[in-house]
């Protein structure tokens, strides 16, 4: 039996086993099973060793270990070095390699919605673990014209900007694309406002965002990476004001699709059936 795992802490909420096991069944990959496991930092080394020995065929890594896992794996591609985030492990030529499919999943989720980043203005709320994977989508050749970055703890946003400014030449980003702004500061109207913070995971939580000048801007997309609950207060507010909204479900599905393909060679279809599976 080929064994796959998603590891994190907490992990109860993860829908990855439901999704991957559905795809194993759908595509007749009947010798495979995908489970979730709550782990601590001290378990990471052993998990990576199990992948190396072949006892575990593939692993998804989720919060809060996406960065920590880098210390235990053998190699990772360049974009992982930039985002410092790994969510997928696979054994390649006796080495355990870590990939970041969140980044690709995020980009596909926008492109399937016909959203093009070229010359757009983006506001990213939050500078936590997932923010670099989001930021990296916009700061490349033919990317956004401006990325405002705003975090409750401002210096984390400053650090992120510094890190990416240093990599500017290698990703084709124009200097000064990223600007750190204070949470309360009113900035120009953006085309896309993304919540990458954890605010909204509990239904009654409210992000402290001033929507005033976003009234009835049908071309503005509000994107919350959270998909459970389906509509956070951030999205409810944006919708009530006449803006477009999107939650993190498609990003979740596409990052899973990319991982599944790496492990099995099969590229599962993302259709209404699979979208509904998670609702």
Other C-beta atoms closer than 10 Å to the C-beta of 54 total 11
Instruction: Pick the piece of the chain touching ligand ATR (CB under 6 A) from 30-38, 70-78, 197-205, 259-267.
Output: 197-205
Structure token pair of residue 174: 């124009």
Smallest distance from the beta carbon of 125 to ligand ATR, in angstroms?
8
- Which CB, 9 or 50, lies closer to ligand ATR? 9
Distance between terminal CA atoms of the chain? Answer: 29
Among 215, 279, 277, which residue's Cα sits nearest to residue 247?
279
- Which CB, 50 or 198, lies closer to ligand ATR? 198
Smallest distance from the beta carbon of 102 to ligand ATR, in angstroms?
12
Task: Give the single-character DSSP code of 212.
Answer: G
State which of residues 58, 129, 248, 268 lies at the interface with ligand ATR (CB under 6 A): 129
Q: Give the alpha-carbon dihedral of 38, 54, 32, 71, to 10 degrees.
A: 40
198 binding ligand ATR? (CB under 6 A): yes
Other C-beta atoms closer than 10 Å to the C-beta of 34 total 24
Return the bridge partners of 141, or none.
none
Q: Which of 66, 82, 91, 249 is catalytic?
A: 66
Q: Is 42 annotated as catalytic?
A: no
163 binding ligand ATR? (CB under 6 A): no
Residues 274 and 205: their CA atoms lie apart, in Å, by: 28
84 binding ligand ATR? (CB under 6 A): no
- Which CB, 169 or 184, lies closer to ligand ATR? 184
- Which CB, 63 or 90, lies closer to ligand ATR? 63
Per the rule left: phi > 0, alpha: psi between -120 and 50, beta: everything else, 199 is beta
127 binding ligand ATR? (CB under 6 A): yes
- Which CB, 126 or 268, lies closer to ligand ATR? 126
- # residues contacting ligand ATR (CB under 6 A): 13
Q: Which residue is nearest to ligand ATR (CB)?
A: 128
Structure token pair of residue 251: 């990003």
Residues 168 and 192: their CA atoms lie apart, in Å, by: 22
Site string for ligand ATR, 130-159 (x = CB under 6 A): x--------------------xxx--x---
238 binding ligand ATR? (CB under 6 A): no
Smallest distance from the beta carbon of 184 to ligand ATR, in angstroms?
12
Structure token pair of residue 126: 């939050």
Residues 98 and 88: their CA atoms lie apart, in Å, by: 6
199 binding ligand ATR? (CB under 6 A): yes
197 binding ligand ATR? (CB under 6 A): yes
- Which CB, 124 or 221, lies closer to ligand ATR? 124
Element counts in the chain: helices (H) and strands (E)? 10, 11
Cα 227 to Cα 59, 123, 182, 224, 279, distances in angstroms: 21, 19, 26, 7, 9
| Binding-site ranges for ligand ATR (CB under 6 A) | 64, 126-130, 151-153, 156, 197-199
Residues carrying an active site annotation: 66
């Amino acid at each position: 039996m080929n064994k796959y795992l998603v590891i994190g802490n907490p992990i109860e909420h993860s829908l990855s086993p439901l999704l991957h096991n559905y795809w194993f069944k759908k595509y007749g990959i009947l010798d495979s099973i995908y489970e979730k496991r709550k782990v601590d930092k001290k378990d990471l080394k052993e998990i990576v060793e199990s992948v190396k020995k072949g006892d575990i065929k593939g692993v998804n890594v989720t919060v809060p270990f996406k960065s920590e896992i880098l210390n235990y794996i053998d190699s990772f591609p360049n974009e992982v070095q930039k985002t410092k985030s790994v969510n997928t492990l696979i054994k390649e030529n006796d080495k355990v390699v870590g990939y970041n499919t969140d980044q690709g999943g995020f980009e596909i989720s926008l492109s399937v919605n016909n959203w093009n980043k070229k010359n757009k203005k983006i506001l990213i709320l939050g500078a936590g673990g997932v923010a670099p994977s989001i930021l990296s989508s916009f700061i490349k050749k033919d990317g956004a014209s401006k990325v405002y970055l705003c975090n409750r703890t401002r210096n984390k946003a400053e650090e992120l900007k510094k890190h990416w400014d240093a990599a500017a030449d290698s990703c084709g980003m124009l200097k000064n694309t990223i600007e750190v702004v204070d949470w309360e500061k009113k900035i120009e109207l953006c085309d896309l406002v993304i919540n990458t913070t954890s605010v909204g995971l509990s239904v009654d939580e409210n992000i402290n965002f001033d929507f005033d000048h976003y009234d009835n801007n049908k071309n503005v997309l509000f994107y919350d990476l959270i998909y459970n609950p389906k509509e956070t207060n951030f999205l409810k507010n944006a919708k009530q004001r006449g803006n477009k909204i999107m939650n993190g479900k498609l990003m979740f599905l596409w990052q899973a699709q990319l991982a599944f393909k790496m492990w099995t060679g099969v590229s599962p279809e993302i259709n209404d059936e699979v979208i509904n599976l998670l609702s």
